[in-house]
Each structure stands twice: as C-alpha cells, then as structure tokens.
C-alpha cells in the first residue's frame, strides 16, 4: 500500500512553524509530512507596523486585512492541499486546537480523500455548532480569567474585525498568565520563544462558524483523538466531551483515543511522534 502523507494544520495565531519539530521527527522515521500555513498566517501574515514599534494607541486601531479572511477561505486552502497530496497515497489530516474546525469541515467536503483525522487536543464540534458555543462555562479557569484580564477580545473584534493580541508586550503579568494557561511545564525561555512564533492578528470568523461534523461524510473517516492531559486552555474534561459527543453520533466509528502528559502548547513530545508513527503504519 502507498505510504501516507501527513498534512498538519495549526491553531489560532500560529503557523506551519508550530509543526516544524514534529514533521522533522516524522521525516526522520521515513514518513511524508507537511505543515500548512492557513490564509493570513505564516509568510502570508499581516503584522501591524504598530506591533513592531509597540505604539499601543495605534495598535488598538490599526486596520488589518486579516479581517476579510473567512473560514471558507481556510477550509478551501486545506482542501486544495489534501487534493494535491492524495494522488501520492493516503492522507492523514491532523490539527491542533482550533484546527479541529478545519478538520471537520474538510472531512464534510472530501471524506473519500482522507485516510484518517487526528485531533491533537482539538475542537470537534458535534452537539454544539461552533467553537464559541463550547467555551462558556467550560473555559473559565483561574488561568483563563488571569489572561482574559489582559485582552478585551470582544471590543477588539467589534473595532477591528480580528482578534488581536499583543504577544510582544513586555509585561511580566501577561507572560506569567500566558505561561500558566498554555505552557506551564515549559521554562520562561521556552515560553518567550513560543510567544515569538505567534502572530498578533487572527481572523474572527472561525470561532463562530458552524463546524459540526456530518455523520454521512465526516462520520465515515477513521479518527484519532490525542488528549493533552496537562492542557489548561482546553481542559481534559472538554476534550472528553468532544470525544463522547462524536462517538454517540457515529457509534460504528468511534475515536481511537490516546493521552499524553503535555500542556496546550505541547513541548517537543516524542510520545506524540510515536503515536503518529503508529497511525502511519496502520494507514500505509
């Protein structure tokens, strides 16, 4: 059977760089793997001039072309890559966090082009339609509250049409809140390097897009969920809810579930690579 190709999709504010180490390790084990930059991300990202100058007053109002990017733009981009990769062999589509929305919607469109979906602590909308519908109550931990105090997201969306976060701000409180929420097992140096990979502007469209998997399309694709047990941003209870809801919808095609002991932004995890290697062996 032909060798599978991994296609990795990043979450909010990130880029293909998030997957650099993982794709490297898979390649060193003999697997084909590529990471996608979603529209408006990576080399296509818009970085406000005021972000570099740290002119906070200007940063609060500077327009962003990222506001025009829709969830359909993102889904179509990933679908095109899946279509181009498929002639080479089976495609394993994997995503982290908000990328679960992309996985659901691509699988709704082209289930026959996908050998497997892999949700790495990623949203999987089933009973509720959108990312935003899952967050009230489920994402209200002490760490969330501390970080939310630093960022007025609702006002930002209304004014700019994007969700803008100033990752470069030299604020010890913001750094501590980010670390506690996203990467509490990492060193301060690792957290700074992680923040440096993130872009300030994220399209607002994805969080309100109906991303429920269709049992007749998405529901036919074999799927794996890799739980991040130390995830404070998307707690294990929420991850377990997504798994349970999806399994109820398609009882004949339940999630293949694995657990790794990492936070939301996983450090270099050989255990994750081991799981992916095993999935490639099964799909190849």
Tell me the pLDDT band of 161, cut-offs 50, 70 and 90. confident
* DSSP 8-state assignment for residue 8: E
Predicted model pTM: 0.95
How many domains does the chain contain in total?
A: 1
Task: Give the pLDDT of residue 169.
Answer: 87
Q: DSSP 3-state assignment of 117?
A: strand
Q: Is the pLDDT of residue 138 over 60?
A: no
Could you tell me the CATH number of the domain that includes residue 87? 3.40.50.1820
pLDDT digits (tens, 9 = 90+) for 183-197: 999 999 999 999 999
- For β-strands 162-164 and 201-203, DSSP reports them as antiparallel
Residue with tokens 């990017």: 69
CB 147 within 8 A of CB 232: no
Task: Give the pLDDT of residue 140.
Answer: 63
User: What is the domain range of residue 259?
Assistant: 5-283
Q: Is the pLDDT of residue 43 over 60?
A: yes
Instruction: Report CA dihedral (106, 108, 110, 114) to the nearest 10 degrees.
Output: 70
């Amino acid at each position: 059977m032909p060798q599978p190709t991994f296609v990795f999709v990043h979450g909010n504010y990130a880029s293909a760089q998030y997957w650099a180490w993982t794709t490297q390790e898979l390649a060193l084990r003999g697997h084909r793997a590529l990471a996608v930059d979603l529209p408006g991300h990576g080399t296509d990202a818009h970085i406000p001039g005021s972000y570099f100058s740290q002119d906070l007053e200007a940063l609060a109002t500077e327009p962003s072309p990222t506001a025009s990017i829709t969830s359909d733009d993102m889904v179509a981009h990933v679908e095109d890559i899946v279509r181009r990769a498929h002639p080479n062999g089976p495609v394993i589509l994997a995503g982290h966090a908000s990328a679960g929305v992309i996985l659901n919607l691509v699988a709704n469109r082209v289930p026959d082009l996908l050998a497997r979906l892999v949700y790495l602590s990623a949203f999987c909308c089933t009973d509720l339609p959108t990312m935003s519908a899952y967050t009230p109550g489920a994402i209200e931990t002490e760490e969330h509250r501390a970080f939310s105090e630093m960022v007025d997201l609702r006002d930002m969306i209304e004014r700019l049409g994007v969700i803008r976060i100033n990752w470069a701000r030299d604020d010890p409180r913001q750094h501590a809140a980010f670390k506690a929420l996203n990467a509490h097992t990492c060193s301060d140096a690792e957290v700074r390097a992680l923040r440096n990979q993130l872009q300030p502007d994220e399209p607002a469209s994805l969080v309100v897009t109906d991303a429920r998997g269709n049992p007749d399309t998405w529901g036919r694709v074999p799927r794996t969920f890799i739980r991040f047990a130390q995830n404070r941003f998307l707690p294990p209870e929420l991850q377990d809810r997504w798994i349970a809801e999806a399994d109820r919808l398609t009882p004949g095609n339940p999630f293949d579930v694995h657990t790794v002991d990492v936070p939301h932004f996983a450090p270099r995890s050989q255990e994750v690579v081991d799981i992916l290697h095993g999935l490639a062996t099964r799909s190849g």
